[in-house]
Structure 1
Amino acid sequence: MKPLLLFVLSMVTFARDAAAEDAECVRERGAMIETIRAYAQSDARALGPQGLSERVLEAMKQTKRHLFIAERSCSIAYVDGPVPIGLGQTISQPYIVALMTQLAAVAPDHVVLEVGTGSGYQAAILAQLARKVCTIEIIPQLAEGAAKTLKKLAYDNVSVRLGDGYDGWPECSPFDAIVVTAALGEVPPPLIEQLRVGGRLVMPVGAGYSTQQLTVVEKIAPGKTATRAVALVRFVPFTRSND
């Protein structure tokens, strides 16, 4: 068989396999969305009467979660649970990602801070809802990998920074919303300082590797906040530069 024909046949096979994989991913992602809807309908305490917005669900639907894990596996990526991404970190359960995004109340003109980039999945969700996302990751390999993935997927309104998220990102502030994806016993004061009046911070409060309270902090005036616990969750611990 001639080399050119072999090349053409291999490209056809690759395209066919890619199309089959895409179809599988679409099915798995659709099933994930339906699972999220089911959780939301039974979780009125956390979401309130407004429920989970179609805007958040659409962002979840459009984000290819399998491209944010090393295996690139649809059956793994869209499972109803957290997915390991290496170095002791995970992508949160899809419903928890949707819940935190909903609680942050992100609007199209907002600037959002994410603390704990991980593989970049939560940042990709936020990027579809906000004008700008600034995301901080303390683990160099994860920060580098997330930056490459987000750039490759054309999330051009996301900036990734390597550093200790406890201190926030003053140069990007003030923020309309802040999402923290790791557990700490207290809300870092610098994050509250960088939150715009009227803005919200969402984070798990409590010790790592145990049950924590998913907490929403609203800044109602300079130096004044209102805090409420929403749901019990389990997140990896917040890593500091001196840990």
Structure 2
Amino acid sequence: MRQDNPKHKGLRNQLVKTVKSKGIKDKNVLDAISKIPRHLFMDSGFIDFAYQDKAFPIAADQTISQPYTVAFQTELLQIEPKDKVLEIGTGSGYQTAVLVDLKAEVYSIERQKELFEKTKKFLPKVGYVAKKLKYGDGYKGWPEFAPFDKIIVTAGAPFVPKPLLSQLKIGGRLVIPVGDDVQVMTLFIRNSEKEFEKHEFGDFRFVPMLKESAK
């Protein structure tokens, strides 16, 4: 297992300043980014770049999201301790670790088998334990554990999957990037059984959310 050292901690402090300068204000989110060793979540070839505010490739043609994007989505969720959070797209586990650091109970689904197996073993080794991880189709959500206080989608969705809206608690928040080539970061707040409030927060780029049913 690679180590975390004072140099990495210094680089993380720089990263926090960068993310802050782009408008992130939530102290808990900034603290999580200052603590979590992002370089451990990346392939060794990219370690020297781990604390740049950029996305990088990981296994299975996926990416580890830009720290600013992770912070932006997390800030929109307004995580409270013990929130039950559904994450669609476990990926490298970096966003999962941020949610766990904020004391959320994380239920995370990954569509890529290779990534799922890798991240499931890796997260406990670095001390970030999700409540449950699953290999499956994120478009369906996770009905057996619904409703969720918060839902986060970490891939570009061509449309908003209805099961995700239906699995959100009243008062809950869903953060999802919607669109094909470029996505608009979208927040849905469930105000009642049938009523959702929608807010849009500008353009982002994510890898596409995969649709095929899980084998």
Asked if TM exceeds 0.5, the reply is: yes
1:114 corresponds in structure 2 to 87
Q: What SS does the aligned partner of 2:44 have?
A: coil
Seen in structure 2, the aligned counterparts of structure 1 residues 212 and 137 have a Cα distance that, compared at 3 Å, is same
Q: What SS does the aligned partner of 2:33 have?
A: helix
**1:179 offset after TM fit, Å?**
0.6
2:199 paired with 1:228: yes
Cα distance between partner residues in 2 of 1:157 and 1:235: 23
Does the 8 A contact of 1:114 with 1:134 survive in 2?
A: yes
Give the number of aligned pairs.
214
1:39 corresponds in structure 2 to 22
- Residues 151-189 of structure 1 show CA distances to partners (whole Å, capped at 9, x for unaligned) of 112223432100001000112221111110111121110
2:156 paired with 1:218: no
Q: What SS does the aligned partner of 1:221 have?
A: coil
- CA RMSD in angstroms comes to 2.0
Unaligned runs of 5+ in 2: none
Unaligned runs of 5+ in 1: 1-17, 41-50
Write out aligned runs for 1:45-194 (5 A): 52-71=25-44, 74-194=47-167
Q: What SS does the aligned partner of 1:215 have?
A: strand
What TM-score do you get using the length of structure 1 for normalisation?
Answer: 0.83
Identity %: 39
Q: What SS does the aligned partner of 1:237 have?
A: coil
What TM-score do you get using the length of structure 2 for normalisation?
Answer: 0.93
**1:150 offset after TM fit, Å?**
0.9
- Residues 69-104 of structure 1 show CA distances to partners (whole Å, capped at 9, x for unaligned) of 121754221112101112211111111100000001
Seen in structure 2, the aligned counterparts of structure 1 residues 180 and 190 have a Cα distance that, compared at 3 Å, is same
Read off the aligned partner of 1:194 and give its amino acid letter. Answer: Q
Cα distance between partner residues in 1 of 2:94 and 2:45: 13
**1:130 offset after TM fit, Å?**
3.3
Structure holding more helix per residue:
1
Read off the aligned partner of 1:116 and give its amino acid letter. Answer: G
**Larger Cα-atom Rg:** 1
